[in-house]
Amino acid sequence: MAHERIPVTGGCLCGAVRYEVSEPPTAGSYCHCAMCRKQSGSLSGAAMEFSWAAFRFTKGELKYYQSSAGAKRGFCGNCGSRMAFVSEGDPKVWVSVGSLDHPEDWPMTKGASWGRSQHIYVGSKVVWYAIGDGLPQQATE
């Protein structure tokens, strides 16, 4: 059972970058777009949406890669851990689920108590991968 610890904490593989968020996530997403697949090195990118106003770094800072117009991806400059996706002017930040200290607190499952999760850009997913978790699926965003 999820404990839903607040603050939500996390960091990179080497420990050079740490963060905490004083509010729970507002949404979860498995993104199947080509950029998220490439950046994560996996079949999809799993991320949770948080308020930027509630987010703060407690150690170090991210380096950013401008992946598209108005959007950048944050990672640890030392170990390369993927940690954030930021859109220009957006009051929200998407944080990599893998960077959370306790991802078990925030299950990205159908009917989760904390918020809605979904699969996005399924029109771009790897064709042999079958999604079977019952979450909503969007062809694009």
The per-residue pLDDT for 80 is: 95
E strands, 15-133, in order: 18-21, 27-31, 45-51, 55-59, 63-68, 71-75, 82-87, 92-96, 116-120
The mean per-residue pLDDT over the stretch 1-6 comes to: 70
**pLDDT tens across 99-134, in order?**
999 999 999 998 888 889 999 999 999 999 999 999
Reference 50, options 96, 16, 18, 118; nearest CA is: 96
**pLDDT tens across 25-79, in order?**
999 999 999 998 998 889 999 999 999 999 999 999 999 999 999 999 999 999 9
Distance between CA atoms of 42 and 119, rounded to whole angstroms? 14
The per-residue pLDDT for 43 is: 93
Reference 11, options 86, 63, 62, 73; nearest CA is: 62
pLDDT band at 5 (very low <50, low <70, confident <90, very high): confident
Is 2 a residue whose pLDDT tops 60? Answer: no
Contact call for residues 65 and 73 (beta carbons, < 8 A): yes
31 has which bridge partners? 45, 120
Domains with residue ranges and CATH for the chain: 8-28+46-116 (2.170.150.70)
